[in-house]
Amino acid sequence: MRRHPFPRALTFVEVLVALLLFATCFLGLYSIFGGSHGALRGTIDEVNAANLASELVETIQALPFEVLGPYDDVLPNQADGLAVAFPLAQQAGYRVGSPAVPPGFQVHLSVQEHPVESSVPAGLTPAVVERVASAAMALSCTVEVSWTDKGRPAKVVVKTLRGRY
């Protein structure tokens, strides 16, 4: 009996082993891509929260110091964005707000006086002392954006100081 110069086709067992190897590789790749997709979603939420908090802090930094006042509350989420209640700013005609917040996000804003020590030389008139103390006054602005990420609470906090000048 004469043998063929080329090897015969693959056996059924060889085909099954090859399919098993391919399936194992694809299962590993699928789990890697699935995990990265879940991590990407969490990262997108964190970036959205950081952008929202930064934009709100920049809005507060752009307002005149005199129209800002003590504020500590969760901001109401309206259809066109957040409404920030600074009565003096609204009376002066400033629009204070931010873009629409994604569903599931909550924004807490706190603007409080920040104690600053100012050293005033002795012997100055009370008017000068009052002016120096007023110029040294600062506001502490804190924006906290919170949401749930896969059932766990998550938050981003942005803090800044806002001086008079």
pLDDT per residue over 128-158, tens digit each?
A: 777 776 677 788 899 999 998 888 899 999 9
Mean of all residue pLDDT scores within the chain: 80
More confident residue, 30 or 144: 144
Looking at residue 139, its pLDDT comes to 86
In this predicted structure, the answer to whether residue 117 has a pLDDT above a threshold of 90 is: no
Question: Does residue 19 carry a pLDDT above 80?
Answer: yes
Q: What percent of the chain has pLDDT over 90?
A: 13
For residues 65 and 121, the model is more confident at 65
111 touches 68 (CB < 8 A)? yes
Q: List the single range of 30-34, 56-60, 117-121 with lowest mean pLDDT.
A: 117-121
DSSP secondary structure, the chain, as one string = -PPPSS--PPPHHHHHHHHHHHHHHHHHHHHHHHHHHHHHHHHHHHHHHHHHHHHHHHHHHHS-GGG---EEEEPPEETTEEE---HHHHHTT---EESPPPTT-EEEEEEEEE-------TT--HHHHHHHHHHH-EEEEEEEEEEEETTEEEEEEEEEEEE--
Partners of 98 in the beta sheet?
Answer: 82
pLDDT for 81? 63
pLDDT at 158: 93
